[in-house]
Amino acid sequence: MRHKPDKLAELAQQYEKAGFISGIQILSTQDAAYHRTCLEAAEAAVGQSMHYLNKVHTVMPSAYEIATHPRLLDVVERLIGPDIMLYNATFIIKEPRGTAFVSWHQDLTYWGFDGADQVSAWVALSPANAISGCMEMLPGSHKTGIQPHTTAEDVDNILLQSQKLSGLDTAEAQLCELAPGEASLHHGWTIHASQPNHSADRRIGLNIQFIRPSMRQIKAVVDTAMLVRGTDAYGHFAPDHPATEWEPEIAARRLAASSTKYQAIAGRQNRDEAAQP
């Protein structure tokens, strides 16, 4: 069942005001369980966690199916327009009773885009709540634009460079608790974080980045993305190709290559003149 137009309009209004929306039903509970099974079978096949590997939709049909689900794309279209490119999809996994966390940060600070026509989706495949370390958002923080981050080396910080914002007043932060199959979506300037997973289960989510085709990459000569709805009248990105079957040996090599390339691009802060929302 697709979202009704009035519901999409309501979600868009909430997103414009707060910089995020949460609790959006994308998958059924049964479908979420199926996709978790696909993920964990893939991990068993390659002998490692799929945590924080990039462009998983190009090697895992299950990840591609989630990232291009019509219910998800309907919401994204309402937020950034009818022409949608899938830039990246990454499983973010916190193991049970672990110490991994995500510091307060903004996504777009490091991705190298020349604008802010972007939205991040996070689709839960296991319960994401206060105990398991769900995301927390600062409402309205997307309206302030880019903020200066500092980097560090913290083995427990999931972020690539342990980047963080300091001196924040987080008293108004809101938890984005999700049941399996539900999603949250947030703007690239929305300040957010998450705490460690103190539960007995893995906290699993597929993090998906959508952009308008008009966006440009300013930190690399060539970058890639996949048109998933509408048209691309710009050609700023070389094409990624969707996964059609799961081939463990090929997948492992491709994921290693795509993750290395992504980290080379995201390995330093955007230029000071990066566009504001």
Q: What pLDDT score was predicted for residue 274?
A: 36
Neighbouring-strand partners of residue 193: 136
> pLDDT tens-digit profile of 205-217?
999 999 999 999 9
Rounded to 5, what percent of the chain is helix, strand, coil? 30, 25, 45
Of 89, 99, 33, nearest to 61 by C-alpha is: 89
The structure's pTM equals 0.92
Instruction: Give the pLDDT score at 267.
Output: 67
Extents of the domains making up the chain:
5-265
For residue 152, the model assigns a pLDDT of: 80
Note whether 101 and 199 are within 8 A (CB): no
Residue indicated by tokens 């906290």 = 203
Q: Which one-letter DSSP state was computed for residue 57?
A: G
Decide yes or no: CATH 3.90.1150.10 for domain 5-265.
no
Residue 98 phi/psi, 5-degree rounding, is: -100, -175
pLDDT tens track for 98-113: 999 888 889 988 888 9
Encoded amino acid at 258, one letter: S
Distance from C-alpha of 195 to C-alpha of 74, rounded to nearest angstrom: 30
**Going residue by residue through the chain (277 aa), what tens digit of pLDDT does each one get?**
678 778 999 999 999 999 999 999 999 999 999 999 999 999 999 999 999 999 999 999 999 999 999 999 999 999 999 999 999 999 999 999 999 988 888 998 888 899 999 999 999 999 999 999 999 999 999 998 888 888 888 888 888 778 888 888 999 999 999 999 999 999 999 999 999 999 999 999 999 999 999 999 998 899 999 999 999 999 999 999 999 999 988 988 999 899 888 888 876 555 443 333 3
- pLDDT tens digit string along 10-57? 999 999 999 999 999 999 999 999 999 999 999 999 999 999 999 999
